[in-house]
Chains A and B, each alone.
Chain A
Amino acid sequence: MIRFDDVTKSYLTGIDALSHVSLEIERGEFVFLVGASGSGKTTFLKLLLREETPDSGSIWVAGRDIGRLAPARIPYLRRNLGCVFQDFRLLPNKTVAENVAFALEVIGRPRGVIRTQVTQVLDLVGLGQKMDRRPHELSGGEQQRVAIARAFVNRPLVLLADEPTGNLDPATSSGIMKLLERINKTGTTVLMATHDVGIVDEMRRRVIQLEHGHLVRDQARGIYGDASDTQSRGYSSISVGAVAGDDEELASMPYRQTRARRGRR
């Protein structure tokens, strides 16, 4: 579904945001993208959406090399990629139903289709009763559900979520994760960038870790941090821990297996 082929991307500062990243994500997978701030997660997502283009290497989405996409075709790529953000990005002057409907309106879906799909997806996220509320009348968790409904209403192949639980308390977050799992069960590939240790550790899904733009770990059924460091799996231990010192070496090892074995506590 998604394939990165030796992708490098650097910004004007000269620092590589992504450096020789290769990976493949299959249809229907649920993948966590972890790493400290500045490790390249956001660049990864931007490249997928073609908000940025790689300096070298190629990116394939649904069998198409998106680097070779004509600019006029980019909107059609984005229709296949639903997007959810930490800050929800709902339109404050529209109701819940209108926010979700907007995503279909602007890609020219007929009105009858819009009505049924909006009702369906709002029932799916559990907001069928709050269709006529405005975003500011909803809790953070509910707002994120609306955002997910908007991202999913067009049945995209992939759902990209950039720290969707970043603004939410743990209980609410786990509700959101249940929703994402449910969406994943419909066959939608879910790629979620996150800092939330608890969620990653609990879900035990594939984990891709980026560090200073390098892919340092790709682990099936992984956890957030370095498994050997169970006392403090926090954010700081990952960014400055043992992993950071020998990026190159680790990246070249058959890493997934090693980590996976060590990962089983």
Chain B
Amino acid sequence: MAVSFDYVAKETAANLWRNRVMALAAVLTVAVSLSLVGTALLLRQVVNRQISQWSNNVSLQVFMNADATPQQLSEIRVLISQEPQITGCTYLNHEQSYLQAKQVLAGEPTALEALTPAITPTVFRCQLQNASDAPAVAAIFNGVPGVFQGHAQFPAQSVRTMQRITNILQVVLLAIAIVLLISSLVLILNAIRMAIFARRREVSVMKLVGATNWFIRIPFMLEGLVQGLIGAIVAAGIVLLSNIGVNYLVRRYLSSSTLPLGQLISTEVVVVVIGVVVGVAGSTIAVRRFLDV
């Protein structure tokens, strides 16, 4: 049987309006939880992009002692050539290393004053095949005579730390989002239950005159869907705003380019789909439990 579009649209709109406080609560909870979901997804994408960029040009820096002997240096060169993870290496002698140190220590004049080319450690700068192996590779050099300890693995370690922090952040955000999604499902369920209760007279007349079960159910289910959808659209707007914020931070502090449009769109699609699913699930449960047809 064809359910007339006019009728369903009219009924759904009337229901939402009659029940507007409950509907608003449900919509806002969906919006907040989905904003968190969307932001967590954006964050993950940004971090992954940044990490993969770093991974491509991560370098292992082997700092030598300033007084390392030429023999020690050649032993290190042999070690480097034997390590398959290392794809390429450049050696910075005292003068080159001093120039680099001057850049790094530009903010600390006192430290710089104490430094002369002669006492600046020389450095091997090596490119690695795989950034995540950096600590292991660095360990090979730690303890070798002539190597100034502890400085070998610093870029990879910062990548690790960042990865760990963002993982924790993501888990926390998603956990909060899941709790909020469950509560928005319950709120939608309750909103639909109230709507069913408010319309029990209509429902009993509908059954009496022979309206089909789906005809009775559809306006209520659509009401839940609309609540989920509106919440999701608000969330999509918030995700768009937070994307602008994230892009600003990326441009300011990180070397990677901003998130491509495709990834933003797919994030928004995920947000909207989750919203619709939550709305439909909530109203389906309500209709099954409270609408006795």
Contacts and interface: CB of A to CB of B under 8 A. Distances in A.
Contact of B202 (A76, A80, A83, A91): A91
Contacts of B204: 89
Interface stretch (B97-105, B189-197, B205-213): B205-213
Given A108-B1, A108-B4, A72 B212 contact: yes
Interface in B160-209: 201-202, 204-209
Interface string A77-111: 11110010000010110000000001101111001
Contacts of B4: 105, 108
B265 interface: no
A150 B209 CA distance: 9
A108 B214 CA distance: 12
A246 to B, nearest CB: 38
Interface size class of B (residues with CB under 8 A): 20 to 34
Nearest to A103: B209
B261 interface: no
A108 B201 contact: no
B253 interface: no
Contact of A78 (B2, B7, B201, B209): B209
A105 B210 contact: no
A103 B212 CA distance: 12
A77 B1 CA distance: 15
Interface string A143-167: 0000000110010000000000000
A89 B209 CA distance: 12
B7 A105 contact: yes
Contact of A75 (B3, B205, B210): B210
Contacts of A108: 1-4, 215
A178 B92 CA distance: 112
A12 to B, nearest CB: 18
B201 A75 contact: no
Contacts of B205: 89, 91, 102-103, 106
A110 to B, nearest CB: 8
A154 B3 contact: no
A104 to B, nearest CB: 8
A80 B208 CA distance: 11
Contact of A107 (B6, B202, B209): B209
A162 B55 CA distance: 81
A150 B204 CA distance: 14
Contact of A72 (B208, B213, B216): B213
A263 to B, nearest CB: 34
A105 B210 CA distance: 11
Contacts of A78: 207-210
Nearest to A80: B210
B19 to A, nearest CB: 14
B256 to A, nearest CB: 57
Contacts of A79: 209-210
Contacts of A83: 208-209
Contacts of B7: 105-106
A202 to B, nearest CB: 29
Nearest to B208: A83
A242 B2 CA distance: 56
A76 B210 contact: yes
A106 B3 CA distance: 8
A246 B4 CA distance: 56
A83 B204 CA distance: 12
A97 to B, nearest CB: 15
A106 B211 contact: yes
Contacts of B207: 75, 78
Nearest to B203: A106
Nearest to B6: A111
Contacts of A111: 6
Contact of B211 (A75, A77, A92): A75
A150 B6 CA distance: 21
Interface in A104-152: 105-108, 111, 150-151
28 contacts: A49-B208, A72-B213, A75-B213, A76-B210, A77-B210, A78-B209, A79-B210, A80-B210, A89-B204, A89-B208, A91-B201, A91-B202, A92-B201, A102-B202, A102-B205, A103-B205, A103-B209, A105-B4, A105-B7, A106-B216, A107-B209, A107-B210, A107-B212, A108-B1, A108-B2, A108-B3, A108-B4, A154-B209
Interface of B: 1-4, 6-7, 201-202, 204-213, 215-216
Interface of A: 49, 72, 75-80, 83, 89, 91-92, 102-103, 105-108, 111, 150-151, 154
Given A79-B210, A106-B215, 17 more contacts: A49-B208, A72-B212, A75-B207, A76-B210, A77-B210, A78-B210, A91-B201, A91-B202, A102-B209, A103-B209, A105-B7, A106-B205, A106-B209, A107-B209, A108-B2, A111-B6, A154-B209
